[in-house]
Amino acid sequence: MTTFGARLHDAMRARGPLCAGIDPHAGLLRAWGLDDDPAGLERFALTAAEALAPRVAVVKPQSAFYERFGSRGIAVLERLIGMCRDAGALVLLDVKRGDIGSTSQAYADAYLDPASPLAVDAVTASPFLGFGSLSPMVEAAQKHDAGLFVLALTSNPEGREVQEARVGDATVADVVLDHLRALNDGADPMGSFGAVIGATIERGSHRLDINGPVLAPGYGAQGGTVDNLRRIFGDGARHVLPSTSRELLREGPEGLADAADRLNDRLRELAG
């Protein structure tokens, strides 16, 4: 097994940088003519995976939309993960977990240990109990060649009160980015520890190059564009995974594959 960063780099070169969210909102289930129940969830998720997983580098399910159906929803999530990985896509599970000690270790065991039925290639995590609280997840990612995407500069307005708060001369976001840069130091072609940075933020004075991947939610329906990504990330845009869910899923089951190809074609410009 190669590192997550190396696998992601190769997948982005082969399939393009698009990260496809599979987020079964109740409204989307209804728009697809499905009931908002476990059977509708399964039909929606597996149909989306069948269209998207063979053609995109990364599939990103949002765990909460599966958890809301209890054990039957988690069973669908397990099937979705296996189906996407079998089709050659990397799976980034959007769980935004963050805790301390044995609980943080349990999250690492649940999502990053290949022995777990919910094992994925990478997860999202929150560092706002202190970056050191993520040590069990960092260590599990290193041990199992998995990845971690840590919240740094999110696009929701409320995030600024924490992320732009100052720690001495730096902001909290800068401290998070410094930790990620240290974890990725010397990695080639890129590290396995990524940042979550919104596709619509104002860059400000933040140094965004971390020698690792950046998940950029908000591309497409939430207003993020290729020009935004170039403005925010500059030369580092080649390591950016623009993420979209609604822009794809509102196309319905018949239009998903074509929509993914169109979005990916636009995004390939970032590698140039």
Catalytic residues: 96
Which conformational region is residue 211 in: left (phi greater than 0), alpha (psi within -120 to 50 degrees), or beta?
Answer: left
Which conformational region is residue 234 in: left (phi greater than 0), alpha (psi within -120 to 50 degrees), or beta?
Answer: left
Structure tokens at 227: 């020009």
Q: How far is CA 169 from the centre of its chain?
A: 29
Alpha carbon distances (Å) from 150 to 73, 131, 263, 268:
25, 9, 25, 24
Q: How many CB atoms lie within 10 A of CB 158?
A: 8
Q: How far apart are CA 229 and CA 267, in angstroms?
A: 10
